Structure 1
Amino acid sequence: MGAMVAAVSSNGTYSFTKPNRPSIRLLSGLGVEGDVHAGVTVKHRFRMAKDPSQVNLRQVHLIQEELFEELRGAGFTVAAGELGENVTTRGIDLLGLPVGTLLRLGDEAVVELTGLRNPCAQIDTYQKGLLKQVVGRGDGGTVTHRAGVMSVVREGGSVRPGDSVVAELPDGPHRPLRIV
């Protein structure tokens, strides 16, 4: 079985979590229809306070479901949508993909990976100690971020659980994902 969409989530109001939906609609250049983070410019409250004219490189947030299994092993209970993601995937290493990777979600939608999510302290309000589980230190002391990837919508369309996820790597050298 190949990579697939495990769940889709959206929320029209600012909230840490996003309820699961039967489907979401991605809008080219904007994000998830009806989601509070959709737009051409940034919609994250902290980023808007700094500069509301910034280009929105965080239109669609994706997390791999395998992270939830790892967190369960560390004593946390986290399910799809609870970390604010729009698309929960299964069977693809999102964090290992380079900047510019195109992800085909189902038959229509395409997102382009822009970078890593940098979770804020709100994650510890959700479950104490969770921030240390998703932001840590890797080999050589480098900071690692495991709270998902951010993307922009290149081609709109409906996305639902069970849809396939197909990665198309960009030309050129591998550019690792960085915080956006």
Structure 2
Amino acid sequence: MPQAGRVIAVARDGAHRFSKEVVEAITIVGSLGVEGDAHAGVTVKHRSRVKVDPTQPNLRQVHLIHAELFDEVAAQGHAVRPGDLGENITTAGIDLLSLPRGTVLAIGEEVRLEVTGLRNPCAQIDAFRPGLLKAVLDRGPDGTLIRKAGIMSIVRAGGTVQAGDPIRAELPPPPFLPLERV
């Protein structure tokens, strides 16, 4: 079933810091990511993954988080705002975590992002807000780990993204592949 939502906020940071600065608009560059962001590039930019193999393809060019997560963690006593968890695009109204791998997110008229997988939350989240790591992880009925800290994507078509832009999910052909950590 197609999903639609909207952009709540956009953020970027040219350095490898945990949080990103919310800005009026970001420019998405084809095959690279967010212009001026430390994670933009064809090869992996995440520091721990660079240490393992700097030639890996960058499956984490653009990070998206659903704003509904902020309400969920606020109920557990954690104040989180757009950009705080290092995402580039904060969304509302679209269930990002339920999308299959390969979904294309059409944002505005130009931008197309292909969903590659889930963000794997790490201990840095607890350094930002003690106890927040536990709040962004859960267990399914069968005991499987559920990661709720957003999704990662690669750029298929670039352009400008700003708050208020519509988002439409274009599902890949079946069979749908579940999101895994990237």
Specify the TM-score bucket, using the shorter chain as the normaliser: over 0.9
**Partner residue of 1:40?**
42
> Please, which of 17, 24, 27 is the counterpart of residue 26 of structure 2?
24
How far the C-alpha of 1:136 sits from its partner, in A, is 2.2
Following superposition of structure 1 onto structure 2, how do residues 93-104 of structure 1 map, counting pairs within 5 Å?
A: 93-104=95-106
Tell me the CA shift for residue 30 of structure 1: 0.3
Deviates more, 1:24-33 or 1:133-142: 133-142
After superposition, what is the alpha-carbon deviation per residue over 1:66-118, rounded to whole angstroms, capped at 9, x for unaligned?
00011111110000000000000000000000000000111110100000000
Counterpart secondary structure, 2:127? helix
In the alignment of these two chains, the number of paired residues is 179
Report the equivalent of 2:166: 164
Identical-pair percentage: 55
- 168, 173, 178: which one pairs with 1:176? 178
| TM-score normalised by structure 1 residue count | 0.98
Match of 1:90 in 2: 92
Structure 1 gap ranges (5+): none
User: How large is the RMSD of aligned CA atoms in angstroms?
Assistant: 0.6
Counterpart pick for 2:107 among 105, 108, 116: 105
Distance 1:167 1:112 in 2: 10
Give the Cα–Cα distance (whole angstroms) in 2 for the partners of residues 61 and 53 of structure 1. 20
State the one-letter code of the partner of 2:28. Answer: L
Following TM superposition, by how much is the alpha carbon of 1:137 offset from its aligned partner in structure 2, in angstroms? 1.2
Name the CA distance, whole Å, in 2 between partners of 1:38 and 1:12: 9
4+ residue segments displaced more than 4 Å: none
Residue of structure 2 aligned with 1:75, choices 74, 77, 87: 77
Match of 1:139, SS state, is coil
For structure 2, the residue ranges without an aligned partner over 5 or more in a row are none
Measure, in 2, the Cα distance between the counterparts of 1:100 and 1:152.
10
Aligned to 1:61: 63
Instruction: Find the aligned partners of 2:138 and 2:55 in 1 and give their Cα distance.
Output: 31
| CA deviation map 1:97-156 (0-9, x unaligned) | 000000011111010000000011000000001101112211111100000000000000
